[in-house]
């Protein structure tokens, strides 16, 4: 019985922590690159793409499970190549050199995009 109560209390506390987390609060730290900054880089890329022509795009949220080390160099962006087999369009946010860590030396995060509805 006591175990059940403790488990319920721990689960409730965990749920409160997760409920207060969002991309808006997931900023970069010394060790990790935040999803907020990754999404903002994708937004800058899409803003430039939207200025080029009639097709208008909107940036969606990156996968919330993504965790990558902080990038040591400026991020790069490009359209995700079709050859990677993704079913929907996305922007690749690329880090060519992460801060030294034991997990990965570089990374890329695919941020989904969708066409904006045409204004009538």
Q: How many domains, in total, are found in the chain?
A: 1
Whether residue 48 is contained in a domain is answered as yes
Burial class (CB in 10 A: 0-12, 13-18, 19+), 46: buried
pLDDT bin (cut points 50, 70, 90) of residue 118 is confident
What are the pLDDT digits (tens) for 56-101? 999 999 999 999 999 999 999 999 998 888 889 999 999 999 999 9
For the entire predicted model, the pTM comes to 0.79
Domain of 99, in residue numbers: 23-115
Whether residue 12 is contained in a domain is answered as no
Whether residue 87 is contained in a domain is answered as yes
Backbone Cα Rg of the chain: 18
Whether residue 97 is contained in a domain is answered as yes
Whether residue 1 is contained in a domain is answered as no
- Burial letters 56-74, b for 16+ CB under 10 A, else e: ebebeebeeeeebbbbeee
């Amino acid at each position: 019985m006591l175990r059940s109560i403790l488990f319920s209390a721990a689960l409730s506390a965990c749920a409160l922590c997760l409920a207060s987390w969002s991309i808006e609060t997931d900023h970069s730290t010394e060790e990790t690159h935040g999803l907020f900054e990754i999404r903002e880089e994708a937004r800058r890329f899409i803003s430039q793409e939207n200025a080029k022509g009639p097709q208008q795009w909107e940036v969606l949220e990156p996968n919330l499970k993504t965790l990558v080390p902080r990038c040591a160099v400026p991020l790069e962006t490009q359209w995700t190549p079709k050859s990677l087999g993704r079913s929907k369009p996305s922007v690749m946010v690329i880090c060519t050199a992460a801060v030294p860590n034991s997990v990965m030396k570089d990374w890329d995060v695919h941020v989904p995009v969708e066409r904006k509805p045409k204004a009538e």
